[in-house]
Amino acid sequence: MRYQRSSVLFKEAQGVIPGGVNSPVRAFKSVGGTPIFVERAKGANLYDVDGNIYLDYISSWGPMIFGHSYTPVIKAIKETANKGTSFGIPTALETEIANLAIKMIPNMNKIRFVNSGTEACMSAVRLARGFTQREKIIKFKGCYHGHSDAFLIQAGSGAMTYGSPSSPGVTQGTAKDTLLAAYNNLNEVELLFKKYPNEFAAIIIEPVAGNMGCIPPKKGFLEGLRKLCDQNGSLLIFDEVMTGFRLAKGGAQELLEVKADIATYGKVLGGGLPVGAFAANNEIMQYLSPEGPVYQAGTLSGNPLAMSAGLEMLKALNTDEEIYSRLAKKTKRLEDGFRMVLRDKKIPFQINRLGSMISIHFTEKPVIDFETAAQGNFKRFNNYFHGMLDQGIYLPPSSFESYFLNDALTNEDIDKTINCFSKIQLDV
């Protein structure tokens, strides 16, 4: 059995871990079957406990830009661990990586490190509320900003109504302060501002959506949000946990040339270790404790292991002038090959791509928001996922997730992936 050991480990995990996993998408519920258990990874390859080898197209959901076990990062982690793993006391490493990050990020003066993207987004919204002295926020259907209560909200019973909790444990009181709009729909945001004037602290958005597949913003959409925030005294928060340092040195702000008031980061910033951060200008950041009244703290924030790993990652990204063009070319090569195969198979499809983020949707309609992403043929996607997995290609186990390519993938790896794709049975 190809996945025998993984099946045994999954059954064992289910006895002591809810669902057998520590993050839901890993459970393969969207695609069925048993999740693989990874033993190690190197470069573009994953090695599971059954001895199978896979080309990896998720890169730990983004951070492994240079591939797994990237030598400078691993060396830094080992050297730092020998000195101690956590102190709860300031280190010079924190200032060093902060200086480099701020040089790379546009429009920001200061950065605060935390331990996850969820923590960064939660803190960014709290800071926006403290700065503006307003309570309501706007988020977009299908955008994911972590599992903080304020973000686990679904649409209300009708357009322009208050949201409702999408998870037990989230209170109605929390839900009433989060209003939803459709991604890429500026008109809905305008209507919200008209209905609730002077009540919104911020808009929070993935500038390039990655949690309903990869969905780039329409031309003028982000620019329109920037204008609405300026007109209404609200802040624009870019959740760059996925896009930050991946699409460009300065993330989506640099690539798309739209300024955010607060930006959140994660994944890449830790070189693969748990880390998050949020950044803003001096005027906003002075509201953050201990300088200001908005409280945020964390014993492991800025811990030396994460800071040393992240510093080496940022140094490499900052000095490699070709990294982003290489990644984009490789992802375009994958896109072109997949388009050719799907046309030959005469199967309806959409492929969305920006830089090294890409996703496939088995639908005839352009995928521009959550509603259109949800109209894809999920049975066909499941056949696609398992067909590729059986041939040693590891893709996101959900049609609502972006792929993240890494630089360790060679053109030969990508051509192999396209060839594997041509062989699998997609019919439902």
Burial class (CB in 10 A: 0-12, 13-18, 19+), 82: exposed
Q: What is the pLDDT of residues 321-339, one digit of tens each?
A: 999 999 999 999 999 999 9
Specify the higher pLDDT residue, 1 or 208. Answer: 208
User: Please, what's the b/e burial string for 368-397 (b: 16 or more CB within 10 A of its CB; e: otherwise)?
Assistant: bbbebbbebbbebbbbbbbbbbebebbbbb
pLDDT at 23 over 50: yes
Q: What is the pLDDT of residues 88-130, one digit of tens each?
A: 999 999 999 999 999 999 999 999 999 999 999 999 999 999 9
Q: What is the pLDDT of residues 257-292, one digit of tens each?
A: 999 999 999 989 989 899 999 999 999 999 999 999
Tokens of 165: 């909790």
Q: Which of the four pLDDT bands, split at 50, 70 and 90, describes residue 235? A: very high
Percent of the chain predicted with pLDDT > 70: 97
pLDDT at 208 over 70: yes
Specify the higher pLDDT residue, 236 or 168. Answer: 236
Distance CA 428, CA 424 (A): 12
pLDDT, average across residues 146-174:
73
The answer to whether residues 151 and 121 touch, using CB atoms and an 8 Å cutoff, is yes
Q: Which residues are catalytic?
A: 144, 239, 267
Q: Which of the four pLDDT bands, split at 50, 70 and 90, describes residue 2? A: confident
String of DSSP letters for 73-102: HHHHHHHHHTT-S--SS--HHHHHHHHHHH
The alpha carbon of residue 39 and the mean position of all alpha carbons in its chain are separated, in whole angstroms, by 24
pLDDT, average across residues 65-80:
97
The predicted pLDDT at position 155 comes to: 57
Q: Which of the four pLDDT bands, split at 50, 70 and 90, describes residue 160? A: very low
The predicted pLDDT at position 107 comes to: 93
> What is the pTM (predicted TM-score) of this model?
0.95
CATH of domain 4-69+322-423: 3.90.1150.10
The answer to whether residues 418 and 388 touch, using CB atoms and an 8 Å cutoff, is no
71-319 maps to CATH 3.40.640.10: yes
Q: Please state, rounded to an integer, the average pLDDT across all residues of the chain.
A: 94
pLDDT at 162 over 90: no
Distance CA 216, CA 355 (A): 10
pLDDT at 139 over 80: yes
Count of Cβ atoms closer than 10 Å to residue 143 Cβ: 22
Instruction: Of 184, 191, 250, give the one whose Cα is nearest residue 220.
Output: 184
Q: Which of the four pLDDT bands, split at 50, 70 and 90, describes residue 157? A: very low
Distance CA 209, CA 203 (A): 14
pLDDT at 182 over 80: yes
The predicted pLDDT at position 158 comes to: 43
Q: What is the pLDDT of residues 371-409, one digit of tens each?
A: 999 999 999 999 999 999 999 999 999 999 999 999 999
Residues contacting residue 175 through CB under 8 Å, at least 6 positions apart: 153, 162, 163, 164, 165
Q: Where are the domains of the chain?
A: 4-69+322-423, 71-319
The predicted pLDDT at position 163 comes to: 65
The predicted pLDDT at position 428 comes to: 66
